[in-house]
Structure 1
Amino acid sequence: MVTDAEELSKLDAQTSRLLSEAIDLMIRRQDAPDNPVTLQTIANWRARSDAHDRIWQRVAEAHGLSGIALGQSDKSRIMSRRNVILGGVTALGAGALSSWAVPEMRLRMGADHLTTTAELLPIELPDGSAMILGPDSAVAISSTRDMREIRLLRGMGWFEITKDVDRPFYLDMGNGNFARMAGATFEISRDAGMLNLAVAQNSVELTGGSGHVVEAGHWVRVDQRSSLFEEGERDPSFAGAWKNGVIVAEAEPMEALVARISRWIPGRVIVAAPSIAHTRISGVFDVSDPLRALEAAVRPTNAQVRRVPGFLTVISSA
């Protein structure tokens, strides 16, 4: 019997496969833009399903190509597979380091909604539910007649899920971690390999092994590398406080808290002192001034925050 978690994992694998096929077809078109066989092959591939066509459109958009341009000759743009990926990432405003570019390209191609630094994005879901996507975050949305699903590809979100016992809502939180509910209000974040979930109303069931039910006024934290599980109680009103510019931390590993605050800071934030990364930090941090919030978060470790020209922030030992 195929479990819900296995079914959702198949959907993620399918997206990766379709993206790879679309990139290969893009390369074939660039090598032979006037070849009728290539153009027909692309047309047939796109017509196979809505998912095929959606992935193709995203690959095309990454290169600034409209539907008309894809039917025109462009012999000047001959690309290798590597250039297709890196060129698309550059067009999307991302860096050009290949070790970072390939997963970033895949994330952008698979996401339905993306946010940038310090951006909060309200989203109305197809079933009438609502969410707020946090800064530097990404989600993919899909629904069937029997199931509602969102994949949190990166970052954080606030969810207000409409109750429907006949169509449960599934949240794929990555690394085999899933949540299921008929309806609930909660926040979720993925930061430096740490998964945090806090419930404000109703309850959320964790699937994929633990079967743990998180009730309103409770939080759980899962280390996605070691599967270490922690839980506790907290005033439900603190859930999603970041929507109002405040981050609440309770005995949280510093590297995870730094990663969350960093979503409000332009550029990259690096913890250059691994010895302090796992120090537990508690407190309330005002991200209306994110650099001051970052300094306050690392102060218990006596670490220093240095802003380097070129959008880089380094946290190092004093």
Structure 2
Amino acid sequence: MQHTTIQEQAVDWAIRLHDGDLTAAERQALDEWVSENPEHAAALERARRLLGDTGSLLVADPGFTRRQLRRGRTGGIPTVTILLASLIGGGLFVSLDGLIWLKADVTSAASETPVITLTDGSRVHLNGKSAIAEHFSAGERRIELLKGEAYFDVTEDVDRPFIVQAGGGEVKVTGTAFDVNLVDGGTEVAVTQHGVVVTGRDEMQSVRVEAGEAVFYDTAGAIGSVETLPADLAAPWRSGRLVFERQRLASVAAQIFRHIPGRVVVARPSIANKRISGSFDLSNPADALASFGEVFNVRIVRAGDLLTIIY
């Protein structure tokens, strides 16, 4: 009997054990299967140990689990092991997102891009899976970008500056339009009208960014150089496109998943850190994801709306 067949049978038994008590006939069949070969008992123990507390998630789609086992190994990493490890680790990420949603005043779900009018008349266009908190006072208009990306069209008020706090820095304006994007490793700011002042955590470091320009600062607040940005590349998501140049593959995947339910995990660092450039149509996110896999020669498996693994 081939090793892959033993794996498949072991997972099948593990799922059935997890799903409830076996009948007497099923219990006898399991006992006979285990006693046939020492490898059977070891495979069952591995499958049950891997399922663990994540079993309920995989039982919801046992066919997916079995199909991943049939694929065997890719690059030396068992796909099902990646899946299970990601699900286990996902508990932490879910709890962290939970804190964000509790803190937020406005949120958007996957593929939602709502436009919100603030109390001062300014408008905020949220990308998918994004969240903001509003902190307005008599002296300032402060918005905290907690997650994702937002485009701000700010009503002018010279007496009350408008400040967007995001990642390791903040953007200060009196009245203008600009995009703020929380990406892997930092924050991107792109200006479409007038100008803004970007300040890192160290208030001694700040730069002015004019219309048609963009700047990136990292999570520590260190600000990079100001770069010229073509008008059509400032917040292209508002027109249904994702445009990127020499970005990490993991960061681009995360931005695609602002329009697709569930989480994405890039399984191997060598793939996650690959620098890529391109453009995708986000009007059909599923097709964009499929094209992404083909163009950049990566394999993609999905567990419904729960999890997607790129490897």
Task: Indicate the TM-score class for this superposition, using the shorter chain for normalisation.
Answer: 0.5 to 0.7
Once the two structures are superposed, residues 145-198 of structure 1 have per-residue CA deviations (whole angstroms, 9 ceiling, x without a partner) of 110010000001111011222111111102x31111111111111123331111
**Which of 110, 114, 122 does residue 103 from structure 2 map onto?**
110
Q: Provide the TM-score with structure 1 as the length reference.
A: 0.64
Q: What secondary structure sits across from 1:293 in the alignment?
A: helix
In structure 2, the partner of 1:244 is 239
Q: Is the 8 A contact 1:200 1:237 kept in 2?
A: no
TM-superposed deviation, 1:212: 1.0
Give SS of 1:152's match. Answer: strand
Give the Cα–Cα distance (whole angstroms) in 1 for the partners of residues 188 and 291 of structure 2: 21
TM-score (norm 2): 0.65
Question: Are positions 1:293 and 2:288 aligned together?
Answer: yes
Is the 8 Å Cα contact of residues 204 and 214 (structure 1) preserved in structure 2? yes
| DSSP-derived class of the 1:302 partner | coil
Aligned to 1:173: 166
Unaligned runs of at least 5 residues, structure 1: 1-94
- Kindly indicate whether the alpha-carbon contact (under 8 Å) linking 1:257 and 1:297 is maintained by their aligned counterparts in 2: no
Structure 1 contact 279–301 (Cα < 8 Å) conserved: no
Cα shift readout 1:240-286 (whole Å, capped 9, x = no counterpart): 22122111212222221111111111111111121122222222211
Distance 1:229 1:253, change over 3 A: farther
- Pick the aligned partner of 2:133 from 116, 134, 140: 140
**Residue 273 (1) aligns with residue 265 (2):** no
Q: Tell me, in whole angstroms, the C-alpha distance in 1 between the residues paired with 2:221 and 2:161.
A: 28
- The amino acid across from 2:116 in the alignment is I
Please tell me whether the aligned partners of residues 254 and 298 of structure 1 are also in contact (alpha carbons under 8 angstroms): no
3-state secondary structure, aligned to 2:258:
helix
Deviations 1:75-113 (A, max 9, x none): xxxxxxxxxxxxxxxxxxxx9965234422321221100
Equivalent in 193, 198, 201 of residue 201 of structure 1: 193
Residue type matched to 2:299 in 1?
Q
Residues in 1 aligned to 2:189 and 2:292: alpha-carbon distance in whole angstroms: 20
Q: CA deviation at 1:295?
A: 4.1
CA–CA distance in structure 2, aligned partners of residues 124 and 226 of structure 1: 29
| Sequence identity percentage | 34
* Structure 1 residues 19-38: aligned runs within 5 Å: none
Residue identity in the other structure for 1:272: A
| Alignment pair present for 1:131 and 2:111 | no
What amino acid sits opposite 1:235 in the alignment? Answer: P
Determine the structure 2 residue equivalent to 1:192. Answer: 184
1:264 to 2:264 alignment? no
Is the contact between residue 108 and residue 131 of structure 2 (CA under 8 Å) also seen in structure 1?
A: yes
- Of 241-250 and 97-106, more deviation after overlay is shown by 97-106
CA distance in 2, matches of 1:154, 1:121: 15
Residue in structure 1 matched with residue 4 of structure 2 by the alignment: none
CA RMSD of superposed structures (Å): 2.3
Segments of 5+ residues of structure 2 without an aligned counterpart are: 1-87
Paired residue for 1:88? Answer: none
Partner of 2:251, secondary structure, is: helix
Asked which structure has the greater CA Rg, the reply is 2
Equivalent pairs counted in the alignment come to 221
Distance 1:203 1:296, change over 3 A: farther
